[in-house]
Structure 1
Amino acid sequence: MNNTKTPGSTADVVSTHSVFGAPCWVSLTSRDLEATQVFYTAVLGWRWRPAKLGDRFRVALVQNVPVAGIAAVASMWQMAVAWTPYFAVPSADEAVARVQERGGTAAVGPLSLPPGRAALLADRDGATFGIWEGELISNWETWRRAAPTFIRLHTRDAFDAALFYGEVLDWATEGPGYCEVHYEGGEVVLRSGGDAVARIESGAVGSAPDPTIRPHWQVHFAVEDVAECARDAELNGGSVLSKGSDEAVLRDPDGAQFTVTSRRER
């Protein structure tokens, strides 16, 4: 493996060729960089380092493992404040072409961000996601276990969405590094090495006035104490949208929605 560096990182990076079609990074588009850092430090205990992309960007760390990116460009680029998952692909150009052929949208890119290339896309129901071709910011297994427990797509039709993403990302393709697709408990489940890395469930409505029930990808972060995270979110300008004993849906002060899930439920 090459010991090249990724933008905003001083850590060694590894090739996405060890994993295909799986989520490999999450990024938050925000308005206020300092306020965002204060909030996620209080709620999730994250630490930060600068990113080489510029002063508006930061990389979040959990025990020195890079786990997420923040870009304070929502106002400048007129983008929505939101968490976005990125999927590892062997070819960004091919993935973008597949999205467009199947009724999705290419919003940004592919852009060259050495040592890789990225694009921001939307599926045919409007759920936003990204793709990444090239080198990962940290070992995939280390990253996945350090921060996101998994990601879940809330969409109109889980089976239709599974077909779309399966064709774009080569799910259920034979060969090392590719993901398996299963139907479990009323959800479509994406597994890599036997572990659930993404889930798709039906029920979202495309024209709903409430953005929380429109088609979207939801990022879940593993935490030790869900109730404590919910309290800290409210104390630091966020809000609690729903809360159970092992999971809570939170909103940061900018309006980005995410879920905290008990590590016991992983």
Structure 2
Amino acid sequence: MSLADGTPIWFELTTPDQQAAAAFYAAVLGWTAQPSPMAEHGGYLIATAPDGEGVAGLMTPPPTMPAGAPTGWSIYFLARDLDATLAKAAELGGRTVFGPMDIPHVGRFAVLLDAQGVPLTVMQPDREEATRPFKQMPDAHGHAVWIELATPDPDGAFAFYGSLFGWTREGAMPMGAMGEYAFIGAGEGVRPGAMMSSTLTRAPVQWNSYFLVPDIDAAIATAQAHDGKLIQGPDQIPGGDYSANIIDGHGHQVGLVGPRRAAA
């Protein structure tokens, strides 16, 4: 079945030390990282999950990146017609800040700021891949299973992404003084993530990704043993699993989801 616009199709870490990052995420998420076989990709590392499917890329900042530009994790969202998506985003108050640019043998992408100033990457692939970096399945260890937007204006963000990708607001979980954790609807039965107020929660203004692990406590302990830090959780979430947020050895935030085996 063809994927809809707005589906997360790739995850990418820009970091000063590719090899250190590869070792960290191999330990925490069970990834295996190898250089891309395409010489044009300039040493780009492709991380595969334990099931052998590609899930993420690891790269150092390219020479063309402006000094002081942010590094860390980014999500690539599907845009079947990149030019139309960029034009629509501009109509909605967004702004293209990089690209469009071709990636040889992969596709064409651009980096946007949404109407609230949050960065996101949109990509028109050359072809639809059989692998699924974003896979909401019980045993998809190492795959992303949830995305989360912390934004100063959740209502405005729903309006922006609703017009851009067709997303809807599908209920919410109250968080008291921190506002609501509002769920994203992306088609019948599809709930890829949620949005929340960065102002009320004091969360960094960004898109965040959560990767599935078989044991949340073991993953946290492993991250801490490899110079990572726990910044949130583990907190129980609907369905019985737990979520946590860590930062890797270079200060880049990423989310984890999984069961507490010790408590089982």
Scaled by the length of structure 1, the TM-score of the pair is 0.79
Native 8 Å contact 1:128 1:216 kept in 2: yes
Which residue of structure 2 lines up, in the alignment, with residue 11 of structure 1? Answer: none
Give 1:250 shift. 0.3
Choose from 86, 89, 109 the match for 2:99: 109
Which residue of structure 2 lines up, in the alignment, with residue 232 of structure 1? Answer: 222
Which residue of structure 2 lines up, in the alignment, with residue 177 of structure 1? Answer: none
Give 1:144 shift. 5.2
Summarize the Cα distance change of 1:102–1:237 in structure 2 as closer, same or farther, 3 Å threshold. same
Report SS of the residue matched to 1:249.
strand
State whether structure 2 residue 61 is matched by structure 1 residue 73. Answer: yes
Which residue of structure 1 lines up, in the alignment, with residue 252 of structure 2? Answer: 256
Choose from 111, 123, 131 the match for 1:132: 123
Distance 1:164 1:223 in 2: 32
Choose from 229, 241, 261 the match for 2:231: 241
Bigger RCO of structures 1 and 2 (CA < 8 A, at least 6 apart)? 1
Give the paired residue count. Answer: 236
Once the two structures are superposed, residues 241-263 of structure 1 have per-residue CA deviations (whole angstroms, 9 ceiling, x without a partner) of: 12225121100111110110116
Tell me which amino acid in the other structure corresponds to 2:31. W
Which residue of structure 2 lines up, in the alignment, with residue 190 of structure 1? Answer: 185
Report SS of the residue matched to 2:162.
helix
Native 8 Å contact 1:190 1:196 kept in 2: yes
Tell me which amino acid in the other structure corresponds to 1:111. M
Aligned residues with identical type, % of pairs = 24
Distance 1:39 1:115 in 2: 26
Choose from 15, 19, 24 the match for 1:39: 24
Give 1:102 shift. 2.4
Give 1:61 shift. 0.4
State whether structure 2 residue 44 is matched by structure 1 residue 61. Answer: no
Structure 1 residue runs without a partner (length 5+)? 1-14, 173-179
Summarize the Cα distance change of 1:75–1:220 in structure 2 as closer, same or farther, 3 Å threshold. farther
Native 8 Å contact 2:11 2:133 kept in 1: no
Native 8 Å contact 1:158 1:188 kept in 2: no
Summarize the Cα distance change of 1:138–1:68 in structure 2 as closer, same or farther, 3 Å threshold. farther
Distance 2:248 2:134 in 1: 26
Distance 1:260 1:117 in 2: 29
Which residue of structure 2 lines up, in the alignment, with residue 119 of structure 1? Answer: 110
Runs of 4+ in 1 over 3 A off after TM superposition: 53-56, 136-146
Which residue of structure 2 lines up, in the alignment, with residue 49 of structure 1? Answer: 34
Summarize the Cα distance change of 1:115–1:57 in structure 2 as closer, same or farther, 3 Å threshold. closer
Which residue of structure 1 lines up, in the alignment, with residue 238 of structure 2? Answer: none
- Aligned residue runs from structure 1 range 159-238, under 5 A: 159-169=155-165, 171-172=166-167, 181-185=169-173, 186=180, 187-202=182-197, 204-205=198-199, 213-238=203-228
Tell me which amino acid in the other structure corresponds to 2:122. I
Summarize the Cα distance change of 1:35–1:76 in structure 2 as closer, same or farther, 3 Å threshold. farther
Distance 2:244 2:99 in 1: 33
Native 8 Å contact 1:66 1:137 kept in 2: no
Give 1:140 shift. 3.7
Summarize the Cα distance change of 1:263–1:87 in structure 2 as closer, same or farther, 3 Å threshold. farther
Give 1:232 shift. 1.1
Distance 2:130 2:70 in 1: 27
Once the two structures are superposed, residues 201-244 of structure 1 have per-residue CA deviations (whole angstroms, 9 ceiling, x without a partner) of: 22x139x9xxx723211100111111111111111111111222
Scaled by the length of structure 2, the TM-score of the pair is 0.80
